[in-house]
Structure 1
Amino acid sequence: MPPRSSSSSSGLTAWLLIAAVIVLADQFTKILIVGSFQLGESHPVTSFFNLVRAHNFGAAFSFLHGASGWQRWFFLGLGLAAAAFIVWMLRRHGHQKLFAWALTLILGGALGNVIDRAIHGYVVDFIQVHAGGWYFPAFNVADSAITIGAILLILDELRRVRRT
């Protein structure tokens, strides 16, 4: 957990460092996949998990994947706007640990995917979970961080509602 501090800026710095670690982990894993796999190539790891190289030009679950290209700039801008808003929220609420963890995970994930959109024009996905012929859409470390952050936001809100 980030160190306690009397200064909100040093608390913010700790949260931003954690987000940076998430971005680095996300980008490192994507570099490994891009360097080792051809587009569409898949390698089974277990009976329910594959590593696969996929390119997502859209958003979650390939939403708008087939659009004409405008979605790259839309989702890049949306990701940057969300990141700015999250930094503002962390500055104001960084002392609320669960809330700040949630925001930090979402921030790291959002920036990881923004970097992909800026560099490639798409997001590199590589984690594929499947069972009984059903395949969940491929995702990546950034997507995992965003999902865990969203779950933590829900838990934080449930805790807040229960207190009132």
Structure 2
Amino acid sequence: MKPRLAGLRLTGPLSLYGGGFALAALVIDQASKLAVLHGVDFGDAGIVRILPFLDFVRAWNTGISYGLFSQGADGWWLLGGLKLAAAVLFWFWLARVDRRIEAAALGLLIGGALGNAIDRLAYGAVFDFVSLHAFGFYWYVFNLSDVAIVAGVGLLLYDSFLGGAAKLPS
């Protein structure tokens, strides 16, 4: 018998599969942040050139996407709580899926949300460090949780167009 909470299914046929993606995204994100935070000497410039199009910078995002709503000093706990709530809702969704691509996408969303929530709750801000640029154009500074979230959304969009073709074989 599967565990239930007030009629909500907590696990499903692909919970372990999606959970693996969540765990991988979370571990890779947190390990990369710790490695950069404690292992990279940013020096006086605050920037480390990795490749001609890639720099590591130290950026603390106290707001949400693109630094929006960063002026509130007490809202960091609310933003962290919202990320945790999103991860829980994605888990309930994951318990109901029957397609691997959807499970992988939700796992990436869960891992990404948890990675940024951990930063928010531990530091009061999300640590971003990847700076991509080319031909004078600089993309927003981001972290690997953001990559997992974007990949998860991309997979969900792909799955919505693919439809039932990616259904788990019976």
Q: Please confirm whether the aligned pair reaches a TM-score higher than 0.5, indicating the same fold.
A: yes
Distance 2:146 2:31 in 1: 14
Q: Is the 8 A contact 2:20 2:107 kept in 1?
A: no
Q: Is the 8 A contact 2:21 2:104 kept in 1?
A: no
- Within a 5 Å distance, the mapping from 1:11-90 to structure 2 comes to 11-35=14-38, 36-38=40-42, 41-65=46-70, 67-90=71-94
Determine the structure 2 residue equivalent to 1:143: 146
Length-normalised TM-score, structure 1:
0.85
Q: CA deviation at 1:161?
A: 9.2
Q: Is the 8 A contact 1:105 1:148 kept in 2?
A: yes
Gaps of 5+ in 2: 1-10, 166-170
Q: CA deviation at 1:58?
A: 1.0
Gaps of 5+ in 1: 1-7
Distance 1:120 1:13 in 2: 30
Distance 1:13 1:101 in 2: 10
Q: CA deviation at 1:9?
A: 4.6
Letter in 2 for 1:150: V
Determine the structure 2 residue equivalent to 1:133: 136
Indicate the SS of the match to 1:92: coil
Letter in 2 for 1:105: L
User: How many residues get paired?
Assistant: 153
> Larger % of helix: which?
1
Q: CA deviation at 1:160?
A: 2.5
Describe the superposition over 1:80-113 as per-residue Cα deviations: whole angstroms up to 9, x where unpaired.
11111111011111x2111111111111000000
Distance 2:137 2:77 in 1: 32
Q: CA RMSD in A?
A: 2.1
